[in-house]
Structure 1
Amino acid sequence: MSHRVLFVCAANVCRSPFMATVLDDETSRGSDGARWEIRSRGISVVRSHPMCRVAMSLVDPGSPAAASAAGHQSTQIAHADLEDHDLIITASREERARLARMRPSTRQRTFTLKEAVALGRVVPEQGELRRSAGEADSAPSLAGYADLLDQRRGRVVLPQQTGLRLPWSSPNDPRDVPDVHHDSARRHTRVLKESRDLVRELYGQMSRHLSAGA
């Protein structure tokens, strides 16, 4: 069985290809023998570009995913991409909303990175455990994990914007991985490192779910 994950951001030069590279690296080092198909796309790609310099500087040259990261070229998302993946992870709510307008049927398996990780941290409830027990005859799947996260929406408190935002302050929402491609190198690096930690946590959550029936 293949586990198919799609990462989406705006231009597909920084956040989404970096997230995909991190997950590709994690799955390559994994010992479960599962086959993973990991891709990244952008919702507003004007022309093809490689991964940004700051993101590439955070990729270990000796990692299993280094070669694919070096050869990355930004790609505009297509409708077929939305049908071909079990789990879709966006950088922000803006991309999530754009994908929902493109293909409403994908809403149930599309999450921002921070949303997916927050939902995955929840201790399973009895109802979830009973449903898992009732499906013991079939192997856990990534599509099933996306469904589990979707069922938790509205029942889990996610990070919220608090207080008043001043006109000159950053519009970034705590539920988003902000687009800092044109910000300072220091902030750019910090946001990408935070994303790396979140993707690694997401992989751990997915792995625990997928190994539950082993």
Structure 2
Amino acid sequence: MRRILMVCTGNTCRSPMAEALLRDWAARTGTAMEVRSAGVAAQSGMPISANAAETLKRGNIVLPGTSTRLDREDVDWADLILTMTTSHKRAIAERYPQAAAKTYTLKEYASQSEALVPDLQEMDRLHAELQVALALGKPFPEQDKRRLTDLSRRAPDMDIADPYGGPLAVYEACAREIREAIERAFGGRHESN
């Protein structure tokens, strides 16, 4: 059985909606998987936001539990980690380098375009090298800066928009964006037992 971890910032909006929507998809399709969610800066025990809860209720989706702060146990538990943004993905790679190979943004995992993957991998590598150079106070080669800028400009937006603090319509739009990415990501990948 596949174990999938959805990650956002506070684990009260996007990742709990993604967790609930993926669980619903798995139940409807008979796909065996366990799904959890966590936040890179979450305070454990917080309820899902009111508008996220209302959005899920309107779709007859079972609500997830309270928020969880991302920790090593979550990272080790997961076979696949899907983040809501590129910055969440990078935060996981920086804190838990061993998880980098199993961590993607939800939209990146959904696209899995053969043409796109090498550019995203190169962008991740260059970003990691930039962070190391900055941390060590070393210069980052100009050609690598230019390449990173070029790759960033060309890359499609891999982030799920943050609905935090927005009206119900913004949460509903976010849920649609997540649902569409889930359908693309797992629609052709029925994995039973």
TM-score normalised by the chain length of structure 1: 0.66
After TM superposition, give the deviation of residue 52 of structure 1 in Å: 1.6
Which amino acid is 2:4 matched to?
V
Q: How does 1:104-183 map to 2 (within 5 A)?
A: 104-119=97-112, 153-154=117-118, 174-183=157-166
Q: Relative to structure 1, is the Cα distance of residues 53 and 38 closer, same or farther in structure 2, using a 3 angstrom cutoff? A: same
Deviation string, structure 1 residues 91-123 (Cα, Å, up to 9, x no partner): 00111111111110111110001111111x559
1:92 corresponds in structure 2 to: 85
The 5 Å alignment of 1:24-103 reads: 24-31=23-30, 34-60=31-57, 63=60, 66=62, 69=63, 72-103=65-96
Letter in 1 for 2:37: S
Q: Which has the higher contact order (CA 8 A, sep 6+)?
A: 2
SS at match of 2:67: coil
Residue 35 of structure 1 deviates from its aligned partner by 2.9
**How has the CA–CA distance of structure 1 residues 177 and 86 changed in structure 2, closer, same or farther, with 3 Å as cutoff?**
same
Distance 1:97 1:156, change over 3 A: closer
Counterpart of 2:25, as a letter, is: E
| Aligned equivalent of 2:129 | none
Instruction: List alignment gaps of at least 5 residues for structure 1.
Output: 124-151, 164-172
Q: What are structure 2's unaligned runs of at least 5 residues? A: 124-150
What secondary structure sits across from 2:108 in the alignment? helix
Query: Residue 194 of structure 1 is aligned with which of 167, 177, 181?
Result: 177
Identify the range of structure 1 (11-20 vs 44-53) with the bigger mean alpha-carbon deviation.
44-53
Question: In the alignment, what sits opposite 1:138?
Answer: none
Distance 2:152 2:168 in 1: 25
Aligned residues: 163
In 2, the alpha carbon distance for the partners of 1:54 and 1:193 equals: 14
SS in 2 for 1:74: coil
Q: Does 1:15 align with 2:8?
A: no
Partner Cα distance (1:85, 1:58) in 2: 26
**Whole-Å separation in 1 of the counterparts to 2:120 and 2:46:** 37
**Amino acid across the alignment from 1:180:** P
RMSD: 2.9
Structure number having the greater helix percentage: 2
Distance 1:182 1:35 in 2: 34
Partners of 2:53 and 2:114 in 1: how far apart? 33
Q: Which runs of at least 4 in structure 1 moved beyond 4 Å after TM superposition?
A: 60-63, 155-158, 160-163
Query: Could you list the per-position Cα deviations for residues 130-182 of structure 1 after superposition, in whole angstroms to 9, with x for gaps in the alignment?
Result: xxxxxxxxxxxxxxxxxxxxxx7216799x8659xxxxxxxxx8221122212
